[in-house]
């Protein structure tokens, strides 16, 4: 996927197409392998967690040119990845009470 295409996806709010693209999927597998399937943030904190996501250190929407730059990518676990994306986490928190009402209480 070319930088211009990525920019278009960002502008139209359909960036998930980037993440579903084969090139990204192959690269993210490679990055996880490079990082031994280990969350790099937890590793820096002296903990071990299995890597579940590959994160753009400089955000994709800010730096689409670095979309496939291996130096701009690192493997993270879900909770560290959420820390890196506080906006998404906020959305998730808002959903949580409803979810708990239905499932637990």
Distance, in Å, from the CA atom of 22 to the CA atom of 99, rounded to the nearest integer, reads: 33
Residues 1-40 that bind Zn ion (CB under 5 A): 39
Judged by CB, which is closer to Zn ion: 78, or 100? Answer: 78
Distance, in Å, from the CA atom of 96 to the CA atom of 87, rounded to the nearest integer, reads: 15
Q: Is 14 helix (H, G, I), strand (E, B) or coil?
A: coil
Residues 70-99 that bind Zn ion (CB under 5 A): 77, 80
- Which residues on adjacent β-strands are paired with residue 75? 54
Interface region with Zn ion, contact rule CB under 5 A, candidates 5-13, 49-57, 64-72, 97-105: 49-57
Q: What are the residues binding Zn ion (CB under 5 A)? A: 39, 41-42, 49, 55, 77, 80
């Amino acid at each position: 996927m070319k930088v211009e295409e990525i920019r278009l996806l960002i502008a139209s709010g359909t960036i998930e197409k980037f993440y579903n693209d084969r090139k990204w999927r192959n690269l993210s597998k490679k990055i996880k392998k490079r990082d031994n399937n280990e969350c790099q943030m937890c590793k820096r904190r002296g903990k071990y967690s299995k890597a579940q996501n590959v994160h753009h250190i400089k955000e994709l929407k800010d730096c689409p040119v670095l979309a496939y730059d291996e130096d701009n990518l690192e493997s993270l676990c879900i909770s560290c990845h959420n820390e890196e994306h506080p906006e998404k986490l906020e959305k998730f928190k808002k959903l949580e009470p409803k979810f708990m009402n239905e499932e637990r209480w």
